Amino acid sequence: MTETQTTEEAVDTARGTLLEARDLHVEFSARGRRARAVDGVNLAIGEGEIVALVGESGCGKTTLARTLLGLEKPTSGEVRYGGRALDYRSRALKAYRRQVQLVLQDPTGSLNPRHTVYEAVAEGPRIHGLADEEELVASALSRAGLRPPERFFQRYPHELSGGQRQRVVIAGALALNPKVMIADEPVASLDASVRGEILALMLKLRDELGLAALVVTHDLGLAWNIADRVAVMYLGRIVESGPVEQVLTAPRHPYTQALMSVLPESPERVVLTGEPPDPTRIPGGCRFHARCQVLASGRAAEAGVDGRCRSELLQVLPATADAQTACHYAATLTGQDG
């Protein structure tokens, strides 16, 4: 191990970072063009911390989550866990996935209808050859709020409610005692009455087990209710991040302001014009400028940054807990260099 690696690991340990993306890029070939799905992302998730990754469909959230899980290999940059770069050899990835588990959006689609609840939750321990399978399954179901667990062992997914099915999916992740959970739209398919229960469960798991989580969502209301920090993603890059209260009560990036405006308590609705995100056609300058309400309204011109918005690239935001924004106009309001 080099001296540089030792220093980096010491920094990671000191700040309690578990999972980190460093200058991450993921590219695909799409319709004969290059799609920059993740285009320079720095993101860190600390021990016992819940981070919400927010943005529209097509902004790169799911690709980033899959890359953090080791399901996609980055074009450049790296994923780090526990201070070490992710090893993509099969045995190393298998060990890594015991520590970082995925919870999918649709519990009905992610559960095999022919498998009982016991078989669904036992799948992970069996793959990893863990002893005391029945005890692990019972403990996981109990921690996921399905009690007494034995009552659910022989049930099938169609015999459960939507909320119970999502709890089974979460129990399947918990059976491996992970340190990090990546939840992709974990309550999107659930009734409003059940959403709160699942969010409360995730907070309880954080408090009781020290479980960290990345929650991928388009819903800023969900982020407000569950997250410690929020990262707002647009067209492959994080454009604003910071403590959830700071970002969501006083959003600085026009894109975050537009996302916030759809919430019922918002005093003004911002309707975005232009084309939705297309990772094969990332514009020059600020990648949001073609849809930016601040630029369209003339406020950017009044601040003297309209030309920069259209032509000058913004720096990639670092992985930090402090509030930060990649926006030329927002920089004029704080006196910072955009």
**Spatial CB neighbours of 253, under 8 Å, sequence gap ≥ 6:** 232, 239, 240, 288, 325, 326, 327, 330
CA torsion through residues 86, 14, 8, 3, sign? negative
CA distances from 263 to 3, 35, 249, 269 (A): 49, 31, 12, 9
Query: Mind listing the domains of the chain with CATH numbers?
Result: 26-334 (3.40.50.300)
Angle at 58 between CA 244 and CA 53, to 5 degrees: 20
Helix (H) or strand (E) holding 97, with range, is helix 90-99
pLDDT score for 106: 74
Under the banding of pLDDT at 50, 70 and 90, the label for residue 268 is confident
CA torsion through residues 150, 128, 77, 4, sign? positive
pLDDT score for 336: 55
What's phi and psi for 290, nearest 5 deg?
A: -65, -20
What confidence tens digit (pLDDT) does each residue in 135-187 have? Answer: 999 999 999 999 999 999 999 999 999 999 999 999 999 999 999 999 998 88
Under the banding of pLDDT at 50, 70 and 90, the label for residue 335 is low
Percent of the chain with pLDDT over 90: 79
Q: By the 8 A CB rule, do 107 and 162 touch?
A: yes
pLDDT score for 8: 39
Query: In whole angstroms, what is the distance from residue 260 CA to residue 263 CA?
Result: 6
CA torsion through residues 306, 260, 38, 326, sign? positive
Residue from 108, 85, 112 nearest 96 by CA:
85
What confidence tens digit (pLDDT) does each residue in 14-62 have? Answer: 348 999 999 999 999 977 899 999 999 999 999 999 999 999 988 999 9
Instruction: Collapse the DSSP code of 335 into the 3-class scheme (helix H, G, I; strand E, B; otherwise coil) and give the result.
Output: coil
pLDDT score for 14: 36
Percent of the chain with pLDDT over 70: 94
The answer to whether residue 85 scores a pLDDT higher than 50 is yes
Residue from 128, 119, 125 nearest 168 by CA:
119
What confidence tens digit (pLDDT) does each residue in 122-146 have? Answer: 999 999 999 999 999 999 999 999 9
Q: In degrees to the nearest 10, what's the CA dihedral of 146, 150, 152, 153?
A: 130
Query: In whole angstroms, what is the distance from residue 217 CA to residue 264 CA?
Result: 18
**Spatial CB neighbours of 227, under 8 Å, sequence gap ≥ 6:** 50, 51, 52, 215, 244
pLDDT score for 13: 38
Instruction: Give the chain's mean pLDDT.
Output: 91
Two tokens at 185?
């739209």
